Amino acid sequence: MRRALPWILAAVFLVGFVASFSELQRMRKRFGEASQHTFHDHAEVREFMIRAALAEAAAPIVVLGDSVTEMAPLPRQLCGHPVVNAGVGGQTIQEASRLAARLLKDPAFLVALTVGANDIGSSTAQRDFGELIDTVKTLSTRPPVVAAVADALTNAAIGAAAAARAVQFVDPELPSGSKMTDSKHFTATGYKTWLPALEAAISKECGTLIAGPN
């Protein structure tokens, strides 16, 4: 028995080590998922929240965008319609197009497009935004409204896409101090100019009547 005791103890220690190592590997994998945003991803949480808001909103005005939209102090209603903030931080123009197609199974009253901050430097921004406009036109009872972004070159590409499809393009003159240091996001000063301009364009589109046959 004395001769067997060291072997028994060694076996116990080995089993304990293997179990501890397996748990460590499991925790490292979970930490890796979290650091790579695959665990409780922000976009997934935001999509869930937007779906919930849409489920409670009849004929909504949907403001589809990125973090600029997500952080915007949007009004609760415009033109008698509930406003749904469909901003997702980090979202690109192409991702916004796919998100709209997934979310808007029932057409919205109007969709405002306020995306582009994550497409700075993209050579396909104008084409991508044109495709986004074409997508949401089929998902809304009113033509979409397009808002400018903080970056001048991206803004020009978005404006060109809007002009080619004859939709409203909101491009207010922003006062000094309207942009954060990253030149992508608006400060409170910027929102005080940008947001009223967007609301005015939406209200104008709300009153646009689609002419019927004579």
pLDDT tens-place string over residues 80-113: 999 999 999 999 999 999 999 999 989 999 999 9
Read off the pLDDT of each residue in 159-177 and give the average, rounded to a whole number: 96
Q: Are 172 and 206 in contact (CB under 8 A)?
A: no
Among the listed residues 79, 78, 140, 84, the one whose alpha carbon sits nearest the alpha carbon of residue 111: 140
In angstroms, rounded to a whole number, what is the distance separating the alpha carbons of residues 5 and 21? 24
Is the separation of the CB atoms in 165 and 192 below 8 Å? Answer: no
Report residue 2's pLDDT band, with 50, 70 and 90 as the boundaries.
Answer: low
pLDDT at 18: 47
Which one, of 192, 170, 169, 189, lies nearest residue 180 by Cα? 189
Cβ-count burial of 47 within 10 angstroms (0-12 exposed, 13-18 middle, 19+ buried)? middle
Contacts of 14 (CB under 8 A, 6+ apart): none
pTM higher than 0.85: no
Q: What is the mean pLDDT of the chain?
A: 86
